[in-house]
Amino acid sequence: MEDTSKYLIHANVTADGVVERSDVVGAIFGQTEGLLGDDLDLRDLRQSQKVGRIDVDVSSTHGQSHGHLTIATSLDKVETATLAASLETITRVGPCRADIEITEIEDVRAAKRKEVVERAKELLETGFDDSVMSSEEILAEVRQHVRVEDITEYEGLPAGPRVTDSDAIVVVEGRADVLTLLKYGIKNAIAVEGTNVPEAVADLTANRTVTAFLDGDRGGDLILEELSQVGEIDYVAFAPAGTSVEDLDHHQLFAALRNKVPYDAVSGLNAPREAVAATDGSTTPAPPPSEDVVTPSVEESTCDSSEGVDATDGERGEPVSEPEPEPEPDTIYDHATAIVREGTDRVRFLDDENGVLEETDAVDTYDTLSTLESAPSAVVLDGILDQRVLDLAADRGVDRIVARSLGQFTKRPTGVQIHAIDDVAETPPDST
């Protein structure tokens, strides 16, 4: 009955004498019998479970009895109010004069609703995860997780998985630096974990092409000095002044590696860090230790070797002549190679002659496309092409889009040709 009751009748009982619970219950059944007809007879209602147990709490002091009673019902409002009113006709309890007064008819469902509302408020505040990730964020999270999972140890030191079998290594300061390099696909880094270079790292440098890639602070200078005394260094690169390797983004990291210099060019100088920074690309960049440093395979990295690889003649530490500058892109495929395959996180808008109208960050693709004064003929996007951008491109009359990958589309406008970069790797789209 407690689970199905709708209302609780609350009443106070007063008797001029000493009475007990059984006297009150007996008076209720006896003096209301036949009062309201067969449909509201209290005994029948109890048997049909439309009225629950009559709870009475009574006590006696100084020759008088006072108590409180409650009756649960599953009747409707009118029937419950009528039954409650009938209780007030009772004038005797046992041998004593008595009075019963209804104090409240409680709606049980209202109390439950209040509990539901309060609990719902709590769940709204604590029960939901408000972070809703976009498709690009999900993919980026998975890629980063896979790369971070690749971190290993070499002789107890944080290292990338290729340190043991690569013919070149990158020596960095700490674990966070190794993780940063892994994030951008460089899997042959090892950390010295302090200014006291471990013997394991010193031994490792003996038979490898070694690039010391250090923070742009005094600590980086000290580690370089220590490393040069106990090991062999081929090239030196520094993060920008006042920054750490772990704080660098994709472009800063590969720019620092491109601008590294042979160790012989800075050894013996009082300020090797300033000497490296002073080159700033003005001299021919030294070759990277190996393809593992900045050119992991397609399966291992989203970045391309064009971000930081110079030619090498295979001899340790011997750079070859500087290659001829690459020509400006003149086809859509050239632009796709420059933007998408290099992992720039950029978008490029092209005109009818494949000239660049605008270039910006990939996350701003929609806003930029919507505000361009001249509608582009083609869009090259280092990102996932979604329905929103595709619809806007169709509205603006874009002829072709090349993206890193294609999202899920509910409709594909026939006026726009769309390609994933992998689909055009062997057969570039027609530049016209």
Are 359 and 297 found together in one domain?
no
**Measured between alpha carbons, how far is 385 from 403 in angstroms, rounded to an integer?**
6
Asked whether residue 277 falls in the same domain as residue 341, the answer is: no
Give 145's pLDDT tier (boundaries 50, 70, 90).
low
Residue 280 in this model has a pLDDT that exceeds 80: no
Residues 274 and 397 occupy one common structural domain: no
- Mean pLDDT over residues 268-278, rounded? 76
Which residue is associated with the tokens 């530490």?
317
| pLDDT score at 211 | 92
3-class secondary-structure state, position 267: coil
> Distances in Å between the alpha carbon of 195 and those of 151, 212, 220, 331?
21, 13, 8, 50
**165 plus 301 within the same structural domain:** yes
Query: Which pLDDT does position 138 carry in this prediction?
Result: 77
Q: What pLDDT does 190 receive?
A: 93
pLDDT, tens digit (0-9, with 9 covering 90-100), for 351-402: 988 888 999 999 899 989 988 888 899 999 998 898 889 988 888 889 999 9
Interval 200-210 mean pLDDT: 88
pLDDT band at 206 (very low <50, low <70, confident <90, very high): confident
Q: How many residues does the chain have?
A: 432
Q: Do 403 and 386 form a contact (C-beta atoms < 8 A)? A: no
Give the mean pLDDT of the chain.
Answer: 81
Does residue 412 lie in a domain region? yes
pLDDT above 70: residue 269: yes
Quote the pLDDT of residue 236. Answer: 92
Would you state the pLDDT for residue 276?
A: 79
Residues 102 and 171 in one domain: no
Q: Which residues pair with 388 in a beta bridge?
A: none
Per residue in 326-345, pLDDT (tens digit) is 567 778 888 888 888 777 88
pLDDT-derived band at 286, boundaries 50, 70, 90: very low
41/187 same-domain check: no
SS3 159: strand
Quick one: CA torsion of 149, 154, 159, 165, rounded to 10 degrees?
A: -90
CA distances from residue 386 to 103, 306, 383, 401 in whole angstroms, order as listed: 65, 27, 9, 11
Q: What is the pLDDT of residue 165?
A: 86
Per the structure, the complete domain to which residue 255 belongs is given by 153-307
Residues 206 and 279 in one domain: yes
**Of 248, 273, 307, which residue constitutes the final position of a domain?**
307
- What pLDDT, on the 0 to 100 scale, is given for residue 172? 93
Residue 85, both tokens: 């009113």
Residue 140 lies in a domain: no
Q: What is the CATH number of the domain that holds 104?
A: 3.30.70.2690
Element (H, E) at 44: helix 42-47
% of the chain residues with pLDDT over 70: 81
> For 61-164, where are the alpha helices, taking DSSP H only?
77-87, 108-126, 135-149
Alpha-carbon gap, residue 18 to 53, rounded angstroms: 23
Of 307, 340, 374, the last residue of a domain is 307
CA distance 94 to 149: 82
| 299 and 338 in a common domain | no
Does 283 share its domain with 338? no
Question: Are 99 and 21 in a shared domain?
Answer: yes
Number of neighbours of residue 71 by Cβ within 10 angstroms? 25
168, part of any domain = yes
* Domains: count for the chain: 3
Give the pLDDT of residue 297.
Answer: 36
pTM summary value: 0.38
pLDDT of residue 271: 76
Would you say residue 26 has pLDDT above 60? yes
- Greater pLDDT, 110 or 67: 67
Per-residue CA distances from 140 to 62, 145, 342 (Å): 81, 8, 16
In a domain, residue 432? The reply is no
Range with the poorest average pLDDT among 7-21, 74-88, 176-190: 176-190
The encoded tokens of residue 145 equal 């997780």
Interatomic CA distance for residues 225 and 219, integer angstroms: 10
Residue with tokens 């892109």: 329
The CATH number of the domain where 171 resides is what?
A: 3.40.1360.10
Which one of 81, 112, 143 terminates a domain? 112
Per-residue pLDDT at 40 exceeds 60 = yes
pLDDT tops 50 at residue 312: no
On whether residue 2 sits in a domain, the answer given is no
Please give the single-letter amino acid code of residue 94: G
Residue 350 is encoded by which pair of tokens? 């092209």
Q: 99 and 177, same structural domain? A: no
Interval 260-289 mean pLDDT: 68
pLDDT at 129: 63
